[in-house]
Amino acid sequence: MEYRPEIRKQILSYQENELTEYHIYQRLAAIVKDEENSKVLRRIAQDEKHHYDRWKQLTGVDVKPNQSKIRFYTLISRLFGFTFGIKLMEQGEEKAKDNYSLLISEVKEAGDILHDEIVHEEALIGMLDEESLRYAGSMVLGLSDALVELTGALAGFTLALQNTNLIALSGLITGIAATMSMAASEYLSTRAESDGKNPVKSALYTGVAYIVTVAILIAPYLVLENYYVCLAISLTSAVIIIAVFNYYIAVAKDESFKKRFFEMAGISLGVAVLSFIFGYIIRNTLGIEI
C-alpha cells in the first residue's frame, strides 16, 4: 500500500526508533547483573523488534538504527543506572507517541502498536527493580539533611567567624559528626522497619550522600580567601545539587521535578538566610572578634 510522502516518512522514523530501542535494551540486558532485570529487558527488546517488523511490513524496506542514540542511552544507563536511562528514553518517546494519533486514521497498525507501547512495555518497565532506587529514600535523607544543616551552618559560620580556614574547619567537624549521626540513625530506623531493606546499605547510602554533599559545599572555603564569595559558591552548588538530584529522582520514579526542587531549595536557602542573620546578631550581641 502506498502512503502519502509525509505519512511514509513518519512510519520510517518510527521504524528506525523501534530498531534503535531494540539494540539499546539488548545492550542493557547484557550489562545488568541481576538476572530477573536482564530477562525483563530482553522481553522489552523483543517487543521493540516485533514493532520494527510490523512497520517494516508496511514500508517494505530495512532501516539502520541510530548509533548515536544507542551509545548515548547506554552511557547514561551505565553512569546513572538503567532505570534512569530507560525512563529518560521513554520520556522522549512520549512526544512521538502523541503523533501516533495522526497515523491511526490512515494506518490501522499504528493503533495496535500504540496500545503495546503504552500497556505492555510500561508494565514490563514497572517490573524492573534497581537497588539504588530502593534506597533512594536513604539518599534523599542524607542529601536533604546535609543541604539544610550545612548551608545553614556555613552561612552562620561565615558571618560569625569571617575566616575561611576557621569556617572550613568548623564545617568539616560539623559535617563529619552529622554524617556519622545520620548514618547511625538510618541504620537503626531501617533495622526497626520490615520493608526488606538492608540496614547497613541504607546507612551507607545516607552517609555517602551526606559526606559527598559536605565535601562539595566546603570546598570553596579550602581554596578561596573571600568568605562571602565562598558562601555564594556554596549556596549555588547547593541549588545545583538539588536540581540534579531531584531531576534524577523525578525521571527514575515518575515524580514531579518542580515540586520537589522548589520545596528542597526553598528550605535549604531559607535556613541559610536565617542562619546568616543569627550569625550577624550573635557576633554583634556578644561582641566577639576573631
Output the CA torsion 100→105→110→116 (10° steps).
80
Would you state the pLDDT for residue 98? 58
Q: Cα–Cα distance between 72 and 211 in angstroms, integer?
A: 30
User: Is residue 238 a contact partner of residue 217, using CB atoms and an 8 Å limit?
Assistant: yes
Predicted model pTM: 0.69
Query: Cell for 172?
Result: 568539616
Would you state the pLDDT for residue 94? 61
| Percent over 70 (pLDDT), the chain | 81
Could you read off the pLDDT of 180-225 as tens digits, one per residue? 888 888 888 777 776 667 888 888 888 888 888 889 999 999 999 8
Per-residue confidence band for 58, with pLDDT thresholds at 50, 70 and 90: confident
pLDDT at 289 over 60: no
Size of the chain, expressed as the number of residues it contains:
290
Q: Cα–Cα distance between 248 and 262 in angstroms, integer?
A: 15
User: Is residue 7 a contact partner of residue 103, using CB atoms and an 8 Å limit?
Assistant: yes
Q: Cα–Cα distance between 227 and 270 in angstroms, integer?
A: 19
Would you state the pLDDT for residue 44? 85
Would you state the pLDDT for residue 287? 59
Per-residue confidence band for 40, with pLDDT thresholds at 50, 70 and 90: confident
Residues 18-22, mean pLDDT to the nearest whole number:
91
Per-residue confidence band for 284, with pLDDT thresholds at 50, 70 and 90: low
User: Is residue 89 a contact partner of residue 21, using CB atoms and an 8 Å limit?
Assistant: yes
Residues 35-59, mean pLDDT to the nearest whole number:
86
pLDDT at 120 over 70: no
Would you state the pLDDT for residue 233? 92
Q: Evaluate the CA torsion angle 92, 98, 104, 105 in order and state its sign.
A: negative
Which residues make Cβ contacts (< 8 Å) with residue 260, sequence separation at least 6? Answer: 246, 249, 250
Phi-psi region of 289 (alpha: psi -120 to 50; beta: other; left: phi over 0): beta
pLDDT at 97 over 80: no
Of residues 141 and 36, which shows the higher confidence score?
Answer: 36
Q: 156, exposed or middle or buried, with CB in 10 Å at 0-12, 13-18, 19+?
A: buried
Alpha-carbon radius of gyration of the chain: 25
Task: Looking at the chain, list the stretches that DSSP marks H as alpha helix, in order from N- to C-terminal side.
Answer: 5-31, 35-59, 67-80, 82-98, 100-104, 108-115, 121-126, 131-134, 136-161, 164-192, 199-223, 227-252, 257-286
Computed over every residue of the chain, the mean pLDDT equals 80
In DSSP notation, 115-142 reads: HIIIIIHHHHHHT---HHHHTHHHHHHH
C-alpha distances out from residue 259 to 132, 148, 179, 254, Å: 22, 17, 26, 12
Could you read off the pLDDT of 108-119 as tens digits, one per residue? 767 777 777 666
Q: 528506525: which residue's cell?
A: 16
| Domain range summary for the chain, segments of one domain joined by + | 5-129, 132-286
In the chain the first and final C-alpha atoms are separated, in Å, by: 84
